Amino acid sequence: MPTLFSTNPRPFLLALGLTLGVLLSPAIAQADSGRDDIPAWNGTVLGFEPQAGDLLSRRLGLRQALQAFGFEYQLAHISQTAYNAKGGYNTDKKAEYIDQFSLTFTQNLEMLTGIPDAAIEGNIVNRNHDNNLTSTRLQDPRVGFNDLAQESWGGQSITRLGWLNFRRSFLDGKLQWRIGLMNKVQDFDQIIPCDFQMLSLCGGKSADSGTWYNWNVHYWGSTVQYRLTPELTLLTGLLEQNPQAPSRSHAWSVSTDGSRGILLPLEAEWRTRRFGLPGIYSLGLLYTNAKQTDLYLGQSGGPGAVDPAGYRQYRNTWFLYTGFNQQLTRHADNVNRGLSMSWSLSLADQRSNKSRYSSSLALRYRGPFDARPNDWLALGVAKMQGSANFRRGQNFLNQQNEAEDYSDPRYAPLPESSVNAELYYRFKATPWLELQPLIQYWGRPGGIAQTSDAWVVGLKTAINF
């Protein structure tokens, strides 16, 4: 029997969000407007670099003209090239190229309607070149992938709506509320920048849950942020869980077709200077009541592959993610130069998730040379551990197929752990152009011991228009 949220959560989400807004608005508007003085928190050395300039403003003055009407935007192009220099599942040399254009915008509604602290937010992403060095060369296609050499690959060349929603803040900005077509990157797991080209080192680990999606995929929901203290913020929300959301048919859809249930995230984010330098820490928990399928067990308790009733399913699934990003050193004469360290970790329900855990550690240095104060040098290492339940299921399939040789097409590879790393140097050629040569190491790609370690060289470019 379907639950309240299992088929179409949009009416509930909209009703909840609108009711919350109606109920809270009068009380909040009349609340004490006094606020604690919040010292400026500068996360530049942590990778949260403010936009310094763009091509269109320099040439046309377009940004300044739109700002007069309350419209802020960021129009950017990113390209990512990867070449397998050595090793991998397929050792034949090949270079893969992908790119994307993205438009992220905010329209201030206070200027147009008089609603205080209100805005419409949107994001549109155009991805090109459905190429992916990870699947064509690095990892065994029989087991899928647990990392990407080019993180912006989304599985298709497509133009999509990433999000479109209403946002309003109350209590002098202490409370922030969103409702509409959402994406998790607007609120959650945003303590580590996506600067590396390798996916496991790009941002946090919450997307490893497989139940919500990054960047250019939208789903209905409503979220709330509340700043308890100048340093501590609590974040929560109620979002649609829809495995059809990344599909081509959903690129511009406002339908909830394919929805399975709800997502309930809860996160605490701490921005601090307790250690003398800026740092940001977070702990998040993600719950879903959408059905998840066991990777090994069947309904009767034996292997699902031979169970007439199929694989066992679960209604309640949890996912944990955490991490920090801390500045370690400061240059003597420039606060925006120095060394920082980030770490992130995810723990998944390995009954239904192919990952048991994933963790990454990275060092970043902004301004490594006096002559290049805006350049970056960074090194990151990530470890992915496969689910024991998934391995158990794969092993049973091999027994059923009497496949013992890895070269046998019927053989189901048995993933364990893998360790990947990336070193890059980002050259700030102009305020609007960045060039980022890089080298990656893949240890046991995909967690498969029979796949040789690989070396990848690449180039990432970014242009702000």
Cβ atoms of 221 and 182 within 8 Å: the answer is yes
Please tell me the distance from the alpha carbon of residue 463 to that of residue 191, in angstroms, as a whole number.
Answer: 23
Q: Name the nearest CA neighbour of 197 among 432, 452, 423.
A: 423
The per-residue pLDDT for range 36-65, each reduced to its tens digit, is 444 478 899 999 988 777 887 767 778 888
Question: Other CB atoms closer than 10 Å to residue 429's CB: what's the count?
Answer: 12
Res 16 pLDDT > 50: no
Record the pTM: 0.89
Mean per-residue pLDDT over the chain, rounded = 90
pLDDT in tens, 332-348: 889 999 999 999 999 99
Stretch 444-448: mean pLDDT, rounded? 95
Q: What is the DSSP letter of 209?
A: G
- Reported in sequence order, the residue ranges of 289-354 that DSSP labels E, i.e. its strands, are 292-298, 311-314, 317-327, 338-347
In this prediction, residues 295-299 reach a mean pLDDT of: 94
Whether 227 shows a pLDDT value over 70: the answer reads: yes
Q: Please check the confidence at residue 34 and state whether its pLDDT lies above 80.
A: no
Question: Could you give phi then psi for residue 380, rounded to 5 degrees?
Answer: -135, 150
pLDDT reported for residue 29: 37
DSSP string spanning 190-206? -SS---SSSGGGSS-SG
Assign 25 to helix, strand or coil.
helix
For range 156-160, the mean pLDDT:
92
The residue assigned the tokens 């977070």 is: 282
> Tell me: the pLDDT tens digits for 249-271?
999 999 999 999 999 999 999 99
